[in-house]
């Protein structure tokens, strides 16, 4: 019996020695007007910078409102719609899902309003009046578009869509799928602050730790990371009104537009961080929660499975506070 045990231990040791070493690979670059960073652990560099850049270029050719040749730009310029590729289909399908789930708080047909408020591909320097906004509202509403397989149609010619509120999350998912197709199961993908993780770090075996940035007390400068969470598998995205805005008279005009009123949101929320199974879901819902406001968002999340959220907001006295769903607190790592 002892001899058998010794032979088994020797065989196990030899098998361990024969296993190829796990290496760490880092890829960084620039895409979609921001930066990306990928870290993965594998025995070889199965996914390269070229693979990533080609993938992101293909997504841009489909979904970028800043590329006149993209499919989304062609759809917006059309009077009735067109046939679209799989990237576009996936984003529109998820956008319709989030629109329906949130009662229209997330709406990709908001692009005419985005342009009117100066945040589109061509910036507008003047602030629109109520009459101008009212004239655009008939063009707004995801009910004005229909997706039938690869055929995306619009009911009225003025309908235009902007998927910037969900496309970066989707891009992160596509990059994650690229890694997984190459049998990489331990990774972190980040694009423009949107993150997806799976597995553990090597050689420590620890789960991935994500830092959540919070605005400072005056909202215009960054403080050290306020929260750290640990996620085994999933996505983390953040939407906030303290990054993209401009001053319009005495008001701050944020890029987040309420599709129902036609005006930039003006509620207590400063930022929302969402943890979900995939980045396209987290990215779509973080924008919707910003529009909905704190109380409606918390009530909404009570009925959502596999989704947690962390909120930074203004209290009635002007001070800044934070709160989160119960499931989010379970992910927090003490410093």
Give the range with max mean pLDDT: 8-12, 205-209, 239-243: 205-209
Spatial CA neighbour of 168 closest among 196, 149, 146: 196
Query: Per-residue confidence at 235, pLDDT binned at 50, 70, 90?
Result: very high
What pLDDT score does 243 carry? Answer: 54
SS3 174: helix
Indicate whether 11 pLDDT > 70: no
According to the model, what pLDDT value does residue 334 have? 80
| Calpha distance 250→63 (Å, rounded) | 34
Residues 6 or more apart whose Cβ sits within 8 Å of residue 246: 118, 252, 253
Question: What number is the average pLDDT over the span 85-89?
Answer: 98
Q: What is the pLDDT of residue 6?
A: 53
The candidate with the shortest Cα–Cα distance to 323, out of 224, 218, 227, 225, is 227
The whole-number average pLDDT for the span 171-181 is: 98
Q: At what angle do helices 86-101 and 279-292 cross, to 10 degrees?
A: 40
What is the CATH T-level fold of the domain 23-329, as seen in this structure? T-fold (3.10.520)
Output the CA torsion sign for 109, 114, 116, 119: negative
Residue 132 has pLDDT above 70, yes or no: yes
Average pLDDT, the chain: 89
Give the pLDDT band of residue 73 (cuts 50, 70, 90). very high
Report residue 68: phi and psi, to 5°.
Answer: -65, -20
* Domain definitions of the chain by residue range: 23-329
Res 247 pLDDT > 50: no
Percent of the chain exceeding pLDDT 90 equals 76
Instruction: Write down the pTM of the prediction.
Output: 0.89
Tell me which DSSP letter residue 192 carries.
T
């Amino acid at each position: 019996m002892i001899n058998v045990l010794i032979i088994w231990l020797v065989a196990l040791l030899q098998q361990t020695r024969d296993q190829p070493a796990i290496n760490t690979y880092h890829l960084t670059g620039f895409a979609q007007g921001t930066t990306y960073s990928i870290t993965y652990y594998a025995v070889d560099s199965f996914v390269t910078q070229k693979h990533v850049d080609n993938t992101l270029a293909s997504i841009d050719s489909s979904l970028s409102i800043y590329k006149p040749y993209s499919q989304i730009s062609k759809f917006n310029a059309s009077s009735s719609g067109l046939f679209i590729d799989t990237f576009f289909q996936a984003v529109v399908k998820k956008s319709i899902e989030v629109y329906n789930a949130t009662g229209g708080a997330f709406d990709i047909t908001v692009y005419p309003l985005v342009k009117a408020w100066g945040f589109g591909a061509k910036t507008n320097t003047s602030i629109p009046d109520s009459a101008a906004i009212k004239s655009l509202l008939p063009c707004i509403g995801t009910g004005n578009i229909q997706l039938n397989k690869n055929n995306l149609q619009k009911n009225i010619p003025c309908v235009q869509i902007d998927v910037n509120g969900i496309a970066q999350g989707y891009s992160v998912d596509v990059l994650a799928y690229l890694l997984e197709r190459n049998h990489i199961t331990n990774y972190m993908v980040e694009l423009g602050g949107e993150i997806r993780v799976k597995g553990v770090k090597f050689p420590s075996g620890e789960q991935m730790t994500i830092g959540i940035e919070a605005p400072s007390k005056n909202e215009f400068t960054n403080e050290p990371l306020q929260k750290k969470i640990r996620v085994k598998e999933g996505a983390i995205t953040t939407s906030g009104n303290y990054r993209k805005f401009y001053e319009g008279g005495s008001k701050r005009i944020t890029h987040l537009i309420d599709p129902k009123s036609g005006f930039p949101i003006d509620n207590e929320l400063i930022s929302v961080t969402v943890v979900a199974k995939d980045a396209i879901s987290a990215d779509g819902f973080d924008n919707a929660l910003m529009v909905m406001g704190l109380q409606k968002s918390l009530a909404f999340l009570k009925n959502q499975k596999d989704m947690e959220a962390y909120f930074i907001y203004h209290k009635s006295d002007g001070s800044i506070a934070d709160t989160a769903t119960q499931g989010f607190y379970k992910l927090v790592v003490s410093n």
